[in-house]
């Protein structure tokens, strides 16, 4: 019997496929029976801390709703409202904060993106430091490397429309945009979809390379499933035969300057990205696909990453995926923050 109590979630790559399938199966059941008595008391009287270095719309709303629907409470925290030690000021260490938080709550979510760190990887390092010193599960609510809850919601949405996605083609394509976007959602998508048996095409202009470790893992994931992984630098070619098109802007590695992602670097990134006029998902490109679904983690930079007629078109699943954030997060919280036992439909009792 698998035991998920206290299990951390930094990236789906850390979890076995069978464990991810348990989350997805439970999330689907929770969606069908959203307010059923089977689920509404799982986190009764329990608190989930949400530690936001970066603001959000869907992340805060979905986690707060998830905790409430499970009978618990989500508490919003910001570093500026806490006396935490930094390189510039005295205060409470991560060790002390993690140990005290563990006495108050049953779980801790952390959201820290690239503009709150000086170098790529520092956000994840902070999550793992809280994991080291705390005794409660740490869940990434999006950090500079990965966004596991988004990745699970992506898979759930795709399966609702396509059924089994194994053997289907995902086009993960860069889109021009006026926002300097993180790598986290894109990298998580590459990792989880390659593990679910999809063929993956990654398309972007030269100079927008992602984390080499993620690329290597994606390549190995596809190989283990007997599937194809390719990287191309053409704005049109990858659409041919695609079953899912995931268009998203992301920043170049050059965006990290000596002082991190500062205002000057952001302005340079936006100017550079907006010059790529051909890298927009539009109806003409979608005609090359296998009647593909369109997906995006939101917020959508309409008119830059994708045209309105595609983003709001009949094959767009952006709102389904956004809703599924709630359901996969409920499943994750139920499994990692309580003694709730779940028997999935494929048999075998999952804890």
166-190 pLDDT, tens digit per residue, is 999 999 999 999 989 999 999 999 9
Predicted local distance difference test score (pLDDT) of residue 263: 86
Residue 348 pLDDT: 40
265-293 confidence digits (pLDDT tens): 899 999 999 999 999 999 999 999 999 99
The reported pLDDT for the residue numbered 84 is: 81
Residues 178 and 293 in one domain: yes
- The arithmetic mean of pLDDT across residues 222-235, rounded, is 98
Count of residues making up the chain: 351
Q: What value does the mean pLDDT take over residues 117-121?
A: 93
Q: How high is the pLDDT of residue 351?
A: 38
Could you tell me if 90 and 200 lie in one domain? no
Lowest mean pLDDT among 63-77, 189-203, 330-344: 330-344
Is residue 5 domain-resident? no
What domain range includes position 200?
150-321
Q: What pLDDT, on a 0 to 100 scale, did the predictor assign at position 350?
A: 43
316 and 332, same domain (yes or no): no
Is the same domain home to 79 and 185?
no
Q: Are residues 168 and 228 in the same domain?
A: yes
pLDDT at 287: 98
Residues 200 and 234 placed together within one structural domain of the fold: yes
Residue 187 CB-density burial (10 A; 0-12 exposed, 13-18 middle, 19+ buried): buried
Least confident of 76-90, 266-280, 296-310: 76-90
What is the 3 state secondary structure string of 116-141?
A: HCCCCCHHHHHHHHHHHHCCCCEEEE
Domain count, the chain: 2
- Residues 224, 308, single domain; the answer is yes
User: Do both 178 and 140 map to the same domain?
Assistant: no
Phi, psi of 292 (to 5 degrees): -70, 150
Question: What's the DSSP call for residue 346?
Answer: T
Cis amide bond preceding 299, omega within 30: yes
In the predicted model, is pLDDT for residue 2 greater than 80?
Answer: no
pTM higher than 0.85:
yes
Contact 253, 209 (CB under 8 A): yes
3-state secondary structure at position 1: coil
- Residue 124 and residue 263 in one domain: no
């Amino acid at each position: 019997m698998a035991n998920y109590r206290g299990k951390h979630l930094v990236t789906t790559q850390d979890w076995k496929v069978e464990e991810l399938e348990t989350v997805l199966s439970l999330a689907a059941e929770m969606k069908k029976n959203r307010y059923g008595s089977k689920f509404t008391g799982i986190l009764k009287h329990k608190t989930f801390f949400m530690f936001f270095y970066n603001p959000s719309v869907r992340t805060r709303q979905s986690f707060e709703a998830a905790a409430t629907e499970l009978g618990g409470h989500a508490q919003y925290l910001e570093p500026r409202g806490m006396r935490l030690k930094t390189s510039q000021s005295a205060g409470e260490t991560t060790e002390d904060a993690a140990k005290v938080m563990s006495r108050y709550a049953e779980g801790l979510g952390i959201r820290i993106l690239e503009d709150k760190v000086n170098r790529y990887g520092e956000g994840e390092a902070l999550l793992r430091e809280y994991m080291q010193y705390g005794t409660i599960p740490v869940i990434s609510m999006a950090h500079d490397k990965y966004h596991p809850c988004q990745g699970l919601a992506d898979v759930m949405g795709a399966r609702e429309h396509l059924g089994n996605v194994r053997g289907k083609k995902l086009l993960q394509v860069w889109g021009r945009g006026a926002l300097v976007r993180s790598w986290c959602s894109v990298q998580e998508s590459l990792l989880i979809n390659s593990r679910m048996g999809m063929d993956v095409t990654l398309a972007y202009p030269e100079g927008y390379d992602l984390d080499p470790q993620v690329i290597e893992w994606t390549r190995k994931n596809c190989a283990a499933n007997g599937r194809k992984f390719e990287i191309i630098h053409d704005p049109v070619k990858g659409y041919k035969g695609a079953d899912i098109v995931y268009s998203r802007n992301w920043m170049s590695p050059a965006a990290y300057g000596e002082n991190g992602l500062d205002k000057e670097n952001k302005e340079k990134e936006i100017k550079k990205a907006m010059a790529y006029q051909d890298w927009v998902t539009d109806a003409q490109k979608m005609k090359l696909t296998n009647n593909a679904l369109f997906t995006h983690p939101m917020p959508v930079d309409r008119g830059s990453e994708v045209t309105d007629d595609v983003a709001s078109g009949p094959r767009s699943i952006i709102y389904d995926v956004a809703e599924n954030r709630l359901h996969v997060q409920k499943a994750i919280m139920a499994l990692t923050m309580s003694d709730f036992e779940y028997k999935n439909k494929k048999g075998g009792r999952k804890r």
